[in-house]
Amino acid sequence: MIKKFFITGTDTNVGKTIVSSILLKKAAIAGYKTAGYKPVSSGCQKKLCSFLNDDAVILKKSSSIVLNYKEVNPISFIENAPPHILSALQKKHVKKEELSLGLRMIIKKSNWILIEGAGGWYTPLSYKDTFSDWVKEEKLTVIIVVAIKLGCINHAILTEKAIISEKIKCGGWIANNIIPKDKYNIYYIQTLLSYIKAPFLGEIPYLENKNKINFKKIKIKLPT
């Protein structure tokens, strides 16, 4: 059976890619053929002769199967701005069909796929469609990454309610401590445990060096 999950966040810069890389590696240890998929990205850096998105590069490296960059990130924009704005300005339209085509290609090689969105739940793909529309069409199970900081309680509750309202399965949420030594972090998480209905998959500690992560020591569960 092929497992497909969509990673969303309570906002942008909440650590979706870090969480994705950890989950991909844990799933590989569990025996799955894993693949990371970043269908749409914005903000690319020039590396050798190409412009590459850092998040997509991490997902590619974290996958247990061999994928080329275009398979991981078929649609990319060099500037760091909302994809629907860049696509309109550059007349490079993002179509849901393209996202689905890329996913079908990965399904041929993998049985555990983690798809990373851009920004939060309702990030637009165009002036007509949002990422959530595509997730609903593909019947993907959603995982929410909650950046533990001031304001996260409201953002997390709203995100889960939005997912549930569209009759999409929420497979769980992960707390990501993006701020070091915040004395209120434990209270934020305790509050979220009271309000969020989806399973709590675990907590990511504050990572001082994100390039050296001992993912084996991070206790988060795989979604089902």
**Would the annotation count 52 as a binding residue?**
no
CA–CA dist 201, 221 (Å, integer): 5
| Distance, CA of 110 to CA of 15 (rounded, Å) | 24
**Structure tokens belonging to residue 212:** 């050296």
SS (H, E, C) 33-57: CEEEECCEEECCEEECCEEECHHHH
> Residue 100's closest CA among 63, 64, 125, 68?
125
- Catalytic residue, candidates 4, 25, 38, 149: 38
| Residue 15 in marked binding region | yes
182 is in an annotated binding site: no
97 a known binding residue? no
Residue 47 falls in the annotated catalytic set: no
* Residue 205 is assigned to a ligand binding site: yes
- Residue 55 annotated as part of some ligand binding site: yes
Q: 206: annotated binding-site residue?
A: yes
Tell whether 129 is in a known binding site: no
Rounded CA gap, 185 and 178, in Å? Answer: 10
42 is in an annotated binding site: yes
* Separation of CA 77 from chain center: 18
The set of residues, in sequence order, having a beta carbon less than 8 Å from that of 67 and lying 6+ positions away, is: 35, 60, 106, 109
Selection from 112, 63, 64, 62 nearest residue 213 by Cα: 62
Q: Which residues are annotated as a binding site?
A: 13-18, 42, 55, 116-119, 176-177, 205-207
Active site positions, annotated: 38
Q: Which residues are annotated as a binding site for substrate?
A: 42
Q: Which residues are annotated as a binding site for Mg(2+)?
A: 17, 55, 116
Q: Which residues are annotated as a binding site for ATP?
A: 13-18, 55, 116-119, 176-177, 205-207
